[in-house]
Amino acid sequence: MENREMFDEINALIGSIAKAFDIADGEVVSAIEQGDLGMEMSCGH
């Protein structure tokens, strides 16, 4: 995946999280930076 594609995917993910929690994109970014919001990949086991 090219850097630009990855940036677009991350941007879309941040937008989806903001919409789900009804908050601004900037608040999502802030929460990630402060360690208040984290995600990890899991195979579901």
| Three-class secondary structure assignment of the chain | CCHHHHHHHHHHHHHHHHHHHCCCHHHHHHHHHHCCCCCCCCCCC
Q: Packing angle between helix 3-21 and helix 25-34, nearest 10 degrees? A: 100
- Predicted TM-score of the model (pTM): 0.75
Q: Give residue 45's pLDDT.
A: 67
Residues ≥6 apart with Cβ < 8 Å to 38: 32
Q: What pLDDT, in 10s, does the model give residues 1-45? A: 678 888 999 999 999 999 999 999 999 999 999 999 988 878 876
Residue 40 pLDDT: 85
